[in-house]
Copies of this chain bind each other. A is one copy, B any other.
Amino acid sequence: MAEKSYTVAILGATGAVGTRLITQLEHSTIPVKQVKLLASSRSAGKQLSFNGRPVTVEEATPASFQGVDLVLASAGGAVSKALLPAAVAAGAVCVDNTSYWRMNDHVPLVVPEVNAAALAEHHGIIANPNCSTIQMVVALAPIRQQYGLKQVIVSTYQAASGAGQSALNELYAEAKQAVNGEEMTANILPVKGAAHHYPLAFNLLPQIDVFHDDGYTHEEWKMIHETKKILVGDKNSPDPKVTATCVRVPVPISHGESVYIETEQQPSPADLRATLTAAPGVVVQDDPAQQLYPQSLTATGKRDTFVGRIRADAENPGSYNLWIVSDNLLKGAAWNTVQIAEELVKQNLVHVAAGDAALFSDQD
């Protein structure tokens, strides 16, 4: 019997994440029969390639998903809201990199190293968590499993590309203006369409996404609530408390995170290093004598999450500081999405049950 192969649609194929979805899919274990590259009408007709063969970008419409087995979506929340129910109705399983479906009770929120088992409960849509959440839970889940996890206090150092290709372009344009002695012009960050825009180059912007009434940004809200949704799957330990401060920094790719944790047991830093060294998807870079620690430049282009600067808080036994860096476009987005799809294929879960599509209709 021939190995089953899959028709895969990439929704939002021309963006910073979309182009990486193509390359991550090229390097995946998924047997691809055919690839469909979908985007807005503006990008339709553009020529891209998959495994060296040219593919023409098509406009994404509700009719695009006939005959599609898997959808990898990264075209923005509004597009995922509008189109993924049609994809599920057409029988396609969707792995969605946008935030729109993440907190829906019928949608597993999955980081394969942490909660791949949650995929078995899918109803046609699986959500890829927020980039800053993914790299944090990859490192914290093994610690939680072994030592329990009571509290997480995270401060992020997030790269421009987390806000898309246009924000990345703006960072470089501003940097060029600044080194040429020109005034910097900002039109995108901190939030597309917001009333005020501020330069990111040579600056720090403590706003990512819009504000909630309690003063937290939506990015901070995501880190708190997505982390709880992902880690709740592990019943060995009560849910950790989580708080977050998210800051955009003038770095193109790869987020940094300064994470303070309180565990139930009191492992030594060496114990934590051993646990993380054995953890899937994690690379420990923690040798002060060699000045070895995670950096954005060295993490970029890699699928792993890098952890270093592991230190005990001498005044609070059972509390630790960690420094976590990962490529926000790969593990934080495209690679985690393709990795979920690989897992769906491996677990033979690329099918939609009768009635599943109805769960996602009449959304508002």
Verify if A329 is at the interface (C-beta below 8 Å from B): no
| A297 near B206: Cβ-Cβ < 8 Å | no
| A245 near B323: Cβ-Cβ < 8 Å | yes
Task: Select A295's contact among B194, B205, B241, B311, beta carbons within 8 Å.
Answer: B205
A296 to B250, CA, bound (A): 11
Verify if A313 is at the interface (C-beta below 8 Å from B): yes
| B260 near A243: Cβ-Cβ < 8 Å | yes
Task: Select A198's contact among B207, B242, B247, B295, beta carbons within 8 Å.
Answer: B295
Verify if A153 is at the interface (C-beta below 8 Å from B): yes
Interface digits, A274-302 against B, CB 8 Å rule (1 contact, 0 not)? 00000000000010111101111100000
**Count of A residues near B, CB < 8 Å?**
62
A91 to B256, CA, bound (A): 49
A-B contact pairs, 9 of them (CB 8 A): A157-B157, A175-B178, A196-B290, A204-B295, A206-B294, A206-B309, A207-B291, A215-B309, A243-B319
Residues of A within 8 A of B (CB): 151, 153, 155, 157, 172, 175-176, 178-179, 190, 194-196, 198-199, 202-207, 211, 214-216, 241-243, 245, 247, 249-252, 254, 256, 258, 260, 269, 286, 288-291, 293-297, 308-316, 319, 321, 323, 325
